[in-house]
């Protein structure tokens, strides 16, 4: 009888320890998000890899949001480098070498690689915090946060726990990761 009681107590303590860790990382994330979203200007440079059953696409993108709106600039591959997408509330415009092309209402129903960084911002702004924990990668402790949008899109965000700088993000629909984002520069912080 004493052993069963002791086992129940140990299980309860293990569960409670896990909950306090989760609450710690949830608090770290919500504090970071509040402060970061209060700033009016941001710039993110990242390698974006998108995959489906047929192909894998890799881009290096520079995302900027400021008083003029949101812009995504392609840095690589070289064939389409310097193409910019200017994103407004209901439309996007592509530009290259001064020429502008209106793309109409929405770019696509599904998430495209070129829209991955604006989507990351949307999920940070509006996503529901589902879970958080920590992981160690390459000797660095990362705070990991899972966020979900009303449409079922889920993003997992890895941030250095020391300063909460985002390092990686995965965007998935269902159980399949569709887009992997490796952040190389975040608001003037080299990652």
pLDDT of amino acid 119: 87
Three-state DSSP state, 85: strand
Please indicate, yes or no, whether the overall pTM of this predicted structure exceeds 0.85: no
pLDDT higher than 70, residue 8: no
What is the C-alpha end-to-end distance of the chain, expressed in Å?
A: 54
With contact defined as beta carbons under 8 Å apart, do 145 and 159 qualify? yes
CA distance 59 to 76: 5
Go through 144-173 and write b for each residue having 16 or more CB atoms within 10 A of its CB, e for each that does not. bbbbeeeeebbbbbbbbbeebbbbbbebbe
Q: How confident is the model at residue 34 (pLDDT cuts 50, 70, 90)?
A: very high
With contact defined as beta carbons under 8 Å apart, do 74 and 58 qualify? no
Please tell me the total number of residues recorded for the chain in this structure.
Answer: 191
Question: pLDDT, tens digit, for every residue of 81-131?
Answer: 888 888 876 556 666 555 554 443 333 345 678 888 988 998 999 999 999
Ramachandran angles phi, psi of 101, nearest 5°: -130, 120
């Amino acid at each position: 009888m004493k052993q069963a009681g002791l086992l129940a107590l140990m299980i309860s303590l293990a569960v409670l320890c896990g909950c306090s860790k989760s609450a710690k990382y949830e608090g770290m994330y919500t504090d970071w998000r509040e402060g970061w979203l209060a700033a009016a200007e941001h710039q993110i440079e990242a390698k974006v890899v998108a995959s489906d059953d047929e192909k894998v696409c890799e881009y290096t993108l520079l995302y900027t949001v400021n008083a003029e709106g949101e812009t995504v600039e392609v840095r690589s591959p070289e064939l389409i480098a310097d193409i910019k997408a200017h994103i407004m509330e209901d439309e996007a415009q592509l530009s290259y070498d001064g020429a502008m092309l209106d793309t109409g209402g929405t770019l696509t129903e599904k998430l495209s690689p070129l829209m991955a960084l604006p989507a990351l911002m949307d999920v940070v702004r509006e996503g529901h915090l589902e879970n958080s924990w920590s992981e160690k990668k390459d000797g660095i402790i990362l705070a990991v946060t899972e966020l979900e949008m009303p449409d079922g899109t889920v993003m997992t965000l890895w941030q250095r726990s020391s300063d909460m700088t985002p390092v990686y993000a995965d965007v998935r629909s269902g159980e399949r990761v569709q887009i992997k984002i490796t952040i190389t520069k975040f608001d003037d912080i080299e990652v």
